Structure 1
Amino acid sequence: MMADLGKLIRRELDQMQPYNAGLSLDEIRSKYDLDVIAKLASNENPNGPAPEVLRILRETSHDVYLYPDGSANLLRQKLARHLDFPEDQLIFGNGSEELISIICQSVLDPDDRVVTLYPSFSLHEEYAYMMGANVERVSVTSDLDIDLEALIEAAAHPAKMLIFANPMNPVGCWLNPDDLQAVIRAKHPDTLLVLDEAYYEYAIAADYCSGDKMLLENGGNWIILRTFSKAWGLAGLRVGFGMCSSADLRKTLDLTRTPFNLNTSAQMAASASLDATAYMKGNIEKTISERSRVAAALSKLGYKIAPSSGNFLFFDTRAPSTSLADALLKRGTVVKPWKQAGFETFIRVSIGSMEENDKFIADLAR
């Protein structure tokens, strides 16, 4: 007799949706019989890691029978120097997605209030739902910009957690320094602020800044999330990290973290990447140049595009986006149709190589 899972599984999981990771390249090749594919759905860095990082990976292959350093000490020390931040306030995750899960498991109780921007990186919401929390969304404006007044109003009331991305994912918009400072000052003192800066390296606009120095000055409990998956080109190795407001907060979150969550190759590659900052910055310049070119092409085709400081663009197709995404997929261009309520006509497209972007523009025009 089939067991009744309804009696076994926590009811909070009924609210959750599976994460849309998309098809792999092998699946796409097999399904559509394609040789050339432009994968522009997951905001990966088409340039990949620096050559010296690849060399380090080849040299670490003989260590796979040993458990990794559970504290990631070598990476911790190098990253602390790179950031000029206390090493005992750094926490590492198998991607920043795992850190969001760790934070939610460590902090949230059923019926806690969680505030986030919308549309959101879905795991900002899903992991909160997993813990039985109530999520309050602050939607972007009709101009696809952050509604600062509404965000400040929501942040001022008691909540267990305020979590949002700056630059925002999937939209790409951002808070300028004055606006970010206003949100930080308005935040209720009992609220944990989780500031997701996954696209921090791409946000080089004059009116953008990280929240690190502001938060150090304002106090309270907070954590800034960053990743080696995007600008550093290590998406396949899964290295995320958090900058915590105190060593005590980091120690508490470590209780929920699995002991060996960052594998040896990931630690070595991330550490070596910090010695190749010039390579990373050069790739960012290419991406920003291509972002402008793709945005211009989308505008010429008549699409409404959100302002972006990420390595992606968010645009309104004026029709169900899944249909257009499927048509592009059959031609070998992979984009991400957005499925959150109210934004089902939008697509997020990653900025790839010049050749991939050319293919996307040509396929879209057809």
Structure 2
Amino acid sequence: MDSNQDDGAYLRRNMRGKVFWNPTTIPASERGKHIIRMDLNECPHPPSPAAIAAMQAHADKINRYPDGTCPEITERLSKLNGVPAAQIIWGSGSTQLLKSIMEVVIAPGENLVSPSLLWHRFHGVYEVLDADVTIVPNHADATIDVGGMISAIGNNTRLAVVITPNNPTGLMLGEDDIHRVCADTPENVLLFIDEAYHEFAVHAGGVDALEIVKQRKGPWVVSRTFSKAYALAGARLGYAYCSSEEIANALRMITSTFNISAFAEVGALAALDDPEYTKFILGSNATERTRIIEGLKALGCAPLQSVTNFVSADTGVPGEEVVRDMRARGIRIARLHDAGFENYIRISMGQPDDTDACLVSLKEVLENLRGG
């Protein structure tokens, strides 16, 4: 069917002429081949054997809709973290939640404050909302400028966005900065803290941001996920703690009744019941992260000191070209899109053999691009 050049007239002004960005795309040239995936910050290990068994045992029940409120795991998390069950909500991964959180707060033209260097998807959501966005540049070392963000909040600001640890830097906020952003964000502004990599931060010695934000007088939401440390990215289960039931109910209205997979809750419950396996994931991730960081240094790169399951580094050459040439060698890595960070690549942790292959290929790619 021929496209109609007038179709754009029926779209909202801010949605016209958009190009769809989908980092999960597997092109035809890669299908059926052995591709080393180190670009999506996935866990390279399968889920806990207990989680796999639980989901398999649930297979004969997927003719029925699951309870989208995830009652069993909600009660578990409520007891673990001291947040009332009515203030915990669920989404199809934390990706759905970040969009929903902004939708219930920001009307077109209203202001939100955000760091400049953050997951690319955030910028897409800002465009969909048609928000008035105040972008606060990160510090030269890629850390979030907390003071700059607080200073940028104005009379029309409704939302402040903070990510710790941050993607794509892998850097976490220190305890003092978390206290500061919680205390100094005005009480009429909702503070949204995305903690998709929470478990990695705690494993690396970071603080639990939720325990600090719960002391805040103004409204807040903290989002987390089972995709990363629990190896359940394909199950699509994210959740958020809210400062009030009113905020939680507004989010439930946006996220839909039927947004949770029948497998998601049973798999997540089983994963929570297998803490030793989660320790294995976090420990093996830390080992490979150290290998990647040291390997990047040996190749003349300047890696950021990530605490997550990925590492970003300045290669000295355009990151887009490095990604292209690595992909030609069957290894998928990512790059940073932000101004000032064009020479940065981002490598997700893999298994030991993946690390070996990545560093060998990266050495060849960098030598070629550097002309040496």
Fold in common (TM above 0.5): yes
Q: Which residue of 1 aligns with 2:310?
A: 312
The aligned amino acid for 1:113 is N
Q: Which residue of 1 aligns with 2:12?
A: 10
Q: Which moved more, 1:214-223 or 1:144-153?
A: 144-153
Q: Percent identity?
A: 28
Q: Contact conserved, 1:197 with 1:210, CA < 8 A, in 2?
A: no
Q: Which of these residues, 266, 270, 273, is aligned with residue 271 of structure 2?
A: 273
Q: Which of these residues, 180, 184, 187, is aligned with residue 182 of structure 2?
A: 184
Q: Distance between the aligned counterparts of 1:344 and 1:147, measured in 2?
A: 20
Q: Which residue of 1 aligns with 2:105?
A: 107
1:124-143 matched pairs, under 5 angstroms: 124-143=122-141
Distance apart, 1:20 and its partner CA: 3.4
Q: Which residue of 2 aligns with 1:84?
A: 82
Q: Does 1:23 align with 2:21?
A: no
Distance apart, 1:327 and its partner CA: 0.8
Q: Distance between the aligned counterparts of 2:89 and 2:50, measured in 1?
A: 25
Secondary structure of the residue that 2:356 maps to in structure 1?
A: helix
Distance 1:207 1:46, change over 3 A: closer
Secondary structure of the residue that 1:243 maps to in structure 2?
A: strand
Distance apart, 1:251 and its partner CA: 1.0
Q: Which of these residues, 42, 45, 63, is aligned with residue 44 of structure 1?
A: 42
1:215-294 matched pairs, under 5 angstroms: 215-294=213-292
Q: May I ask how many residue pairs the two structures share in their alignment?
A: 362
Q: Contact conserved, 1:156 with 1:187, CA < 8 A, in 2?
A: no
Residues 120-164 of structure 1: CA distance to partner in whole angstroms, max 9, x if unpaired?
A: 112222212212102222222222223333233224765111112
Secondary structure of the residue that 1:285 maps to in structure 2?
A: helix
Q: Distance between the aligned counterparts of 1:206 and 1:236, measured in 2?
A: 25
Distance apart, 1:215 and its partner CA: 1.7
Q: Distance between the aligned counterparts of 2:191 and 2:245, measured in 1?
A: 16
The aligned amino acid for 2:14 is E
The aligned amino acid for 2:127 is Y
Q: Which moved more, 1:234-243 or 1:98-107?
A: 98-107
Q: Distance between the aligned counterparts of 1:219 and 1:185, measured in 2?
A: 8
The aligned amino acid for 1:315 is A
Q: Contact conserved, 1:100 with 1:123, CA < 8 A, in 2?
A: no
Q: Distance between the aligned counterparts of 2:16 and 2:194, measured in 1?
A: 26
Q: Distance between the aligned counterparts of 2:274 and 2:125, measured in 1?
A: 34
Q: Distance between the aligned counterparts of 1:15 and 1:132, measured in 2?
A: 14
The aligned amino acid for 2:25 is L
Q: Which moved more, 1:145-154 or 1:237-246?
A: 145-154
User: What's the Cα RMSD here?
Assistant: 2.0
Distance 1:358 1:156, change over 3 A: farther
Distance 1:280 1:335, change over 3 A: same
Structure 1 residue ranges, 4+ long, deviating more than 4 angstroms after superposition = 155-158
Distance 1:315 1:192, change over 3 A: same
Q: Distance between the aligned counterparts of 2:247 and 2:225, measured in 1?
A: 19
Gapped regions of structure 1 (runs ≥ 5): none
Distance 1:7 1:23, change over 3 A: closer
Gapped regions of structure 2 (runs ≥ 5): 365-372
Q: Distance between the aligned counterparts of 1:28 and 1:350, measured in 2?
A: 22
Q: Contact conserved, 2:315 with 2:344, CA < 8 A, in 1?
A: yes
Q: Distance between the aligned counterparts of 2:205 and 2:185, measured in 1?
A: 21
Q: Distance between the aligned counterparts of 1:158 and 1:212, measured in 2?
A: 26
Q: Which residue of 2 aligns with 1:359?
A: 357
Normalised to the residue count of structure 1, the TM-score between the two structures is 0.93
